[in-house]
């Protein structure tokens, strides 16, 4: 070895994780090291930059920043950096600057990967530090995105402008003008109990409401403002995260969101307030969807939807945020198609609710998805008089969704199917029969109906069904046992020796389907526990939180499930985003050789979590129908 390489080797062996390497391996590392020098104040790495080296600080000092400019860490001699970018998508995650004249050793990515694959202590050091591998694998997502750490109260621009519902629309207009406010929060001054079930806020009016609900209709100026306010109030708690505010706006297509702290209104955030903290255009995309006047117009937005998906992935949004945003976009498309259908067919003869099922109902929709939906009709529905209207409405929406990229459900779970276009009383009978007289085959085909959400029309119908399911499911051990049995049908692709089990032939040879073998079995088993706990939550993360509040799972198991779901979902999401960026059609079929070592190793941990959870499911809900313990 040359003298310079010997000096590099000796310097490396003084510091972890290199101190655990053999002499032979250290010599190989030293022979490939490149050296770089940076003056104090210079930039070493910028966010999003390609990264192909692991960096070792030979001398000097550096500062690591979050993307928002906040100082994250300071490192000096013997420290390493850049491993997170190498482990994920070879992009810099945290900007780096030199605060002193700094000398760096640059270890090529190929050498880093060899150490990762072959040196257990080295891999554990760069991956684990003082946390578990799986927790470390997802933790950076929560830290990297300011939407995930900023509280709503921080973006509230001012105290709320309020008025009681008894004031006239003229007085309300004067208040809004004097206060230069685009919205007015309507409160109930008599509801001041500190532990009231609902906030004191009872409604909201905006400039648009004044125009469309008062002036356009020629209402008298002394009309009480309660007559024009939005009463089915959508609001958010001040301590919720900004991303939750964004998703609430996406979900409900609202541009003003009252913010409450327990029972007290603390302000109103507008679309513009959230957009300041949002680096992608999901909210604007939803607004654009609702401005389209035809199916063709909505279809033209498919490119924008995919671009929004990729942008969120590249901006480090987590799977919950991406899934909920995509579900919000899907809901908006469904809602606009229903509005267009009503314009073509005329007003509905009886009230109805368009019910989303599956991933859209769970707020876990991605780019590759089909449509799952149903219609819940008012009990005044008469087939001879009314069904032709709803048959045509269902066909219009289903065809429109297919044209916009939400393919027809191969299992026929769509409102175009006569069985899934029924009055509320029939839906009650369906769920009662499924729960009280469970049949394995019937439940296998109806599993998806236990992820349900009303997205248009009389959404109260769906809430009634959720209440019924929560009430009855937990009291039927036989039903839970059958649901558990169905949840065990899909196994994670992990072999006896922790090797991946892949397709052996056909179009997807040497791959495994990360939805069918990963996220789906996880959501299936978590659904069973949630039903047993009487939870009405639909989102899988929310269900895990609900389960964690009970004594059903041992300490730490809920955290493992949460981390496994996040890790698997993000690998699947990044796979789809990469396909879109490379001009390929996205899918769920993963070739392990295309993954980083980091992803392969942590996927195995996540699949093991699923395997362990399925074993517990089999024990907890035995086929005999009686839970193993209460």
| pLDDT tens-place string over residues 172-213 | 999 999 988 888 989 887 765 444 444 477 889 988 889 889
pLDDT at residue number 231? 80
For residue 485, pLDDT over 60 is answered with: yes
CB atoms within 10 A of CB 350: 16
Residues paired with residue 561 on neighbouring β-strands, in sequence order: none
Task: Give the integer Cα–Cα distance in Å for 166 and 597.
Answer: 64
Pick among 3.40.1160.10, 3.30.70.360, 3.40.50.2000, 3.10.580.10: CATH of 155-275: 3.10.580.10
Q: Considering Cα of 324, then 329, then 330, then 336, what sign does the dihedral take?
A: positive
Query: Domain 480-620, CATH 1.20.120 — does that match?
Result: yes
Closest by Cα among 144, 43, 36 to 96: 43
For residue 329, pLDDT over 80 is answered with: yes
pLDDT at residue number 283? 65
Q: Where are the domains of the chain?
A: 3-127, 155-275, 480-620
Segment among 428-442, 453-467, 489-503 with least mean pLDDT:
489-503
Closest by Cα among 21, 579, 450 to 10: 21
On whether the CB atoms of residues 416 and 395 are closer than 8 A, the answer is yes
- Going by pLDDT thresholds of 50, 70 and 90, the confidence category of residue 609 is very high
Q: Determine the average pLDDT of the residues in 557-561.
A: 93
Same fold, 3-127 and 480-620: no
Average pLDDT, the chain: 86
For residue 441, pLDDT over 90 is answered with: no
Task: Give the integer Cα–Cα distance in Å for 241 and 539.
Answer: 17
For residue 89, pLDDT over 80 is answered with: no
pLDDT at residue number 464? 96
Length of the chain: 630
Task: Give the integer Cα–Cα distance in Å for 417 and 401.
Answer: 15
Query: Torsions phi, psi of 118, nearest 5?
Result: -110, -15
Task: Give the integer Cα–Cα distance in Å for 129 and 133.
Answer: 9
For residue 248, pLDDT over 60 is answered with: yes
pLDDT: which is higher, 138 or 469 = 469
Q: What percentage of the chain has pLDDT greater than the value 70?
A: 91
For residue 77, pLDDT over 50 is answered with: yes
- Going by pLDDT thresholds of 50, 70 and 90, the confidence category of residue 624 is low
Please state the pTM of the whole predicted model: 0.69
- Going by pLDDT thresholds of 50, 70 and 90, the confidence category of residue 442 is confident
pLDDT at residue number 279? 43
pLDDT digits (tens, 9 = 90+) for 499-527: 788 877 777 788 999 999 999 999 999 99
pLDDT at residue number 510? 86
CATH class of 3-127: mainly beta
pLDDT: which is higher, 231 or 293 = 293
């Amino acid at each position: 070895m040359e003298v310079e390489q010997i000096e590099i080797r000796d310097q490396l062996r003084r510091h972890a994780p290199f101190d655990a390497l053999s002499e032979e391996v250290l010599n190989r590392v030293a022979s490939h090291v490149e050296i770089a020098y940076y003056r104090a104040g210079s930039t070493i790495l910028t966010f999003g930059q390609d990264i192909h080296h692991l960096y070792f600080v030979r001398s000097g000092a550096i500062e690591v920043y979050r993307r928002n400019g906040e100082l994250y860490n300071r490192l000096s001699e013997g420290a390493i950096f850049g491993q997170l970018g190498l482990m994920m998508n070879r992009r810099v995650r945290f900007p780096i600057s030199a605060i002193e004249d700094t000398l760096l050793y640059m270890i090529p990515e190929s050498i880093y990967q060899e150490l990762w694959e072959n040196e257990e202590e080295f891999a554990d050091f760069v991956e684990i530090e003082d946390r578990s591998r799986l927790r470390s694998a997802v933790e950076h997502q929560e830290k990297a995105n300011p939407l995930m750490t900023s509280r709503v109260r921080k973006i509230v621009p001012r105290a709320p402008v309020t008025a009681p519902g008894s004031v006239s629309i003229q007085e309300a207009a004067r208040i809004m003008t004097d206060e230069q406010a685009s919205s007015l929060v309507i409160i109930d001054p008599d509801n001041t109990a500190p532990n009231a079930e609902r906030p004191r806020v009872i409604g909201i009016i905006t400039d648009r409401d004044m125009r469309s609900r008062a002036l356009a209709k020629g209402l008298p100026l002394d009309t009480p403002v309660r007559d024009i306010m939005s009463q089915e109030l959508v609001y958010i708690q001040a301590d919720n995260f900004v991303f939750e505010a964004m998703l609430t706006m996406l979900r409900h297509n609202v541009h003003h969101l009252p913010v409450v702290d327990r029972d007290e209104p603390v302000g109103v955030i507008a679309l513009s307030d959230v957009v300041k903290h949002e680096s992608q255009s999901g909210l604007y995309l939803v607004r654009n969807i609702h401005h389209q006047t035809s199916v063709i117009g909505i279809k033209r937005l498919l490119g924008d939807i995919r671009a929004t998906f990729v942008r969120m992935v590249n901006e480090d949004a987590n799977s919950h945020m991406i899934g909920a945003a995509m579900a919000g976009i899907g809901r908006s498309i469904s809602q606009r198609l229903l509005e267009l259908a009503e314009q073509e067919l005329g007003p509905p003869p009886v009230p109805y609710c368009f019910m989303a099922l599956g991933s859209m109902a769970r707020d876990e929709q991605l780019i590759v998805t089909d449509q799952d939906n149903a219609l819940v009709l008012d009990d005044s529905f008469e087939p001879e008089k009314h069904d032709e209207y709803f048959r045509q409405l269902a066909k219009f929406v289903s065809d429109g969704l297919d044209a916009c990229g939400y393919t027809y459900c191969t299992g026929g779970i769509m409102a175009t199917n006569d069985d899934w276009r029924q009055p509320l009383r029939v839906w009650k009978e369906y769920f009662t029969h499924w729960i009280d007289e469970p049949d394995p085959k019937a439940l296998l085909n109806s599993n998806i109906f236990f992820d349900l959400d009303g997205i248009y029309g009389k959404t109260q119908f769906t809430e009634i069904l959720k209440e019924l399911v929560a009430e009855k499911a937990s009291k039927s051990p036989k039903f839970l046992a059958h649901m558990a049995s169905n949840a065990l049908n899909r196994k994670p692709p992990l072999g006896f020796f922790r090797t991946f089990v892949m397709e052996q032939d056909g179009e997807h040879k040497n791959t495994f389907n990360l939805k069918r073998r990963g996220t789906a079995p996880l959501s299936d088993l978590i659904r069973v526990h949630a039903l047993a706990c009487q939870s009405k939550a639909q989102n899988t993360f929310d269900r895990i939180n609900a389960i964690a509040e009970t004594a059903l799972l041992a300490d730490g198991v809920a955290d493992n499930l949460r981390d496994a779901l996040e890790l698997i979902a993000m690998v699947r999401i990044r796979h789809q985003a990469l396909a879109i960026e490379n001009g390929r059609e996205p899918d769920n079929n993963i070739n392990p050789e295309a993954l980083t070592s980091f992803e392969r190793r942590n996927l195995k941990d996540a699949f093991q979590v699923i395997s362990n959870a399925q074993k517990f499911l089999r024990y907890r809900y035995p086929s005999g129908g009686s839970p193993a313990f209460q």
